[in-house]
Amino acid sequence: GAVVSQHPSRVICKSGTSVKIECRSLDFQATTMFWYRQFPKQSLMLMATSNEGSKATYEQGVEKDKFLINHASLTLSTLTVTSAHPEDSSFYICSARDKGRLTYEQYFGPGTRLTVT
Amino acid sequence: AQKVTQAQTEISVVEKEDVTLDCVYETRDTTYYLFWYKQPPSGELVFLIRRNSFDEQNEISGRYSWNFQKSTSSFNFTITASQVVDSAVYFCALSDYNNNDMRFGAGTRLTVKP
């Protein structure tokens, strides 16, 4: 149980284009999902927290107009990187919190590696 | 503010050696969670352990053991008789009790040589 998937696992896009990354909780409902970014050989940094049906909360320094987050259902959150640039190339990881568990544990997806050329 | 420090950037050991990965944390919360994750080259985070702030008991799981000491704000991780498959980046993380604000340490890259 508690499986989180991400799609795509890898994506290459050209500078200036937009790319959408999906995060799904496969066997549980997630009222809250989190998006992290990990640059090569660095740690995971929380980008934003998304709650189902409401606007995402972004961490300081993360441009909300560049990283659009939509959490339209209890099992799906999407991150759209708009007008991507090479400096956006990174490993993006989502996590989801199980609504039904009192421990509020976060379950992590396998990550999406974005390369902007 | 929450902060996690993993002072060891890289560690290299020879197979069968024991190795301890250090983790020191800072928080003003009285209730919180501590975690360890393994990140192999594939990138996917592998959950290893979660410990809440009320439970200072040490834990052992096979070759893995964890030493939680609130007095020194440390949550160290020991691998006994290391194996090549243990080679990965290991992250220590801290979250508030609602798991809303998870902060990761910088990670320790462990290389186990045959």
Q: Nearest CB to B104: which of A44, A103, A111?
A: A44
- Residue B96 predicted with pLDDT over 90: no
Q: What percent of chain A has pLDDT over 70?
A: 96
Identify the H or E element spanning B68. Answer: strand B64-69
Q: What letter would DSSP give residue B40?
A: -
Q: What letter would DSSP give residue B21?
A: E
Q: What integer pLDDT is reported at residue A109 of this predicted model?
A: 95
Position B98 confidence tier, pLDDT thresholds 50, 70, 90 = confident
- Residue A108 predicted with pLDDT over 80: yes
Residue of B9, B39, B98 best to disrupt the A interface, most CBs of A under 10 A: B39
Distance between CA atoms of B63 and B78, rounded to whole angstroms? Answer: 8
Q: What integer pLDDT is reported at residue A117 of this predicted model?
A: 96
Distance between CA atoms of B33 and B56, rounded to whole angstroms? Answer: 11
